[in-house]
Amino acid sequence: MEALRTVREATENKIRIRAEIIGRVKRDLIRRLSLPYTEEDLHEDVSLLGSGLGLDSLDALEVILGVEQEFGVKVEEGNISFLRSINSMVDYLLERGVGGETVDTVGVAESAL
């Protein structure tokens, strides 16, 4: 029973961390790009580039700058694949240790060492 409680608590913590990062990403996108939306308006799976929010290449550069400034994550030059959606941005950030978490190669979140 104790192991089950530990797993449940760890899962709840990962969900909480992800939700916090999603909120930060949404707030930063709205503020940085002067989007006429609220956090609740932005679905986590909406396409950021092209259809969906319709961000262009200048917006993409602004979002990358925001990721680097807001989260302290250096984005590799030419890497915009993580800009597919808010969820893909959050996955990218979690993989790089934002929120005290890292993601292993099969996508299972683990506590950072």
Q: What residue ranges define each of the domains in the chain, with the CATH number in brackets? A: 2-111 (1.10.1200.10)
Instruction: Encode pLDDT of 40-95 as tens digits.
Output: 999 999 999 988 898 999 999 999 999 999 999 999 988 889 999 999 999 999 99
Rg of the Cα atoms in the chain: 15
The model's confidence at residue 106, banded by pLDDT at 50, 70 and 90, is very low
What letter would DSSP give residue 2?
Answer: H
Say if residues 46 and 53 touch (Cβ distance below 8 Å): yes
Q: Which pTM was predicted?
A: 0.82
Place of tokens 């700058």: 65
3-state helix, strand, coil in the chain (%, to 5): 55, 5, 35
Say if residues 75 and 69 touch (Cβ distance below 8 Å): no
Beta strand ranges found along the chain (DSSP E): 101-103, 109-111
* Amino acid, single-letter form, for residue 39: E
